[in-house]
Chain A
Amino acid sequence: MLMHVIHMEHDVYKANDKVAEKNKKRLDKHQVFSVNVMGAIGSGKTTLIEEAIRQLKEKYKIAVIAGDVIAEMDSSRFRKLDVPTVPVNTGKECHLDAKLVEKALDEIDLNNTDLLLIENVGNLICPVDFKLGEHLRVVIVSVTEGDDIILKHPMIFKTADLAVINKVDIAHAVDVEAEKMRDDILSLNPKVPVILTSKHDWESLETWISFIELGIKEAQKK
């Protein structure tokens, strides 16, 4: 009997990162701008994605990947808006990973896509460690989650490219100050743009949508 130590140095997250890089290259090749929309259950991810689709679908070709433990419900909402949608059932998994997105990309006509919206599984923890190949990492948080939610989940806000505080119209009713939430986000990530939105305030939705449109335009310049 002999004992051996074998050095492996295999990084589990890097293995995912490599697939994510591959996804990104594939999207770049087709000039597709991709957005990873993260946030808790009930934060308004699906609604804000729907609003973006409604406003942008006449100008751009949009596809959606809807990830959830059971993804059919959200994807049927997107299909009603006449955009190609791929539901990704994660089963028991709490996040999308790059391999799941890679598979979903096979079902999308990338030559006919300008914008790919990826709705991640409702969760502020697990999606953080798994890049998908996205160009923009968005975290959506709603005032109903309480104004201590941000400091309780620092890494998702620290690594986001855009933070959205949603449902600000009912902040008073749930005894939350949206401004405190904004300050908390900026304390974790001073450079991140933070926007306050409400489904009932058209101007706030326009800000959200213009962020996405800016990305599409950038991608098309490349």
Chain B
Amino acid sequence: MHELSIACEIFEQVMATATEHGATEVKHVTLQMGRLSHTNPEQLSFCFKAIAEESIAKDADFIVEMVPPSLECECGYTGTIDEKQIRESCQFKSELLAYVAAMECPICGKEANITGGRELIIKSIEIETENQD
């Protein structure tokens, strides 16, 4: 499990940005997590809260938005995997395998390259400041 070290990295980045902007409290932390990344959102949130305990981010809402995988094919197709289609057609119960199995180009049927869905992005934070400017 590497959620703890990733949570540490997120905490450091969030605190640096919050301090830079004169925050007195961090209210929200919003992440975007690719569905193909090997990170568990609940564990990550748990770790973040544990690390943030003594900080101005201790009460922050930790929001994780899941990002579907996106594909690029040599035929020119680019787009995301249709999640609804996966749920309807896939024989696999495992989410990760279902996504990996669905990585053929919907136009020409060839194996497409994964261009997105493995990321872990700190999208934004919402902070409170005392300044009136």
Contact = CB atoms under 8 A, between A and B. Distances in A.
Interface of A: 1-15, 92-95, 125-126, 128-129, 151-152, 154-155, 158, 188, 190-191
Interface in B82-129: 94, 96-97, 100, 111, 114, 118-129
Contacts of B24: 1
B122 A12 contact: yes
A7 B97 CA distance: 32
A4 B126 contact: yes
Looking at chain B's contact residues, the main secondary structure is: mixed
B47 interface: no
Nearest to A187: B101
A128 B1 CA distance: 13
Interface stretch (B3-11, B48-56, B58-66, B71-79): B3-11
B100 A155 contact: yes
B9 A15 contact: yes
A1 B111 CA distance: 53
A12 B21 contact: no
Contacts of B132: 2
B119 A5 contact: no
Interface in B1-43: 1-2, 4-6, 9-10, 13-14, 17-18, 21, 23-24, 27, 36-39
Contacts of B127: 3-4, 6
A189 to B, nearest CB: 8
Given A12-B6, A126-B38, A129-B118, 19 more contacts: A2-B131, A3-B126, A4-B21, A4-B129, A5-B126, A6-B126, A9-B124, A11-B121, A11-B122, A12-B121, A12-B122, A93-B2, A93-B5, A129-B39, A154-B97, A155-B38, A158-B100, A190-B111, A191-B111
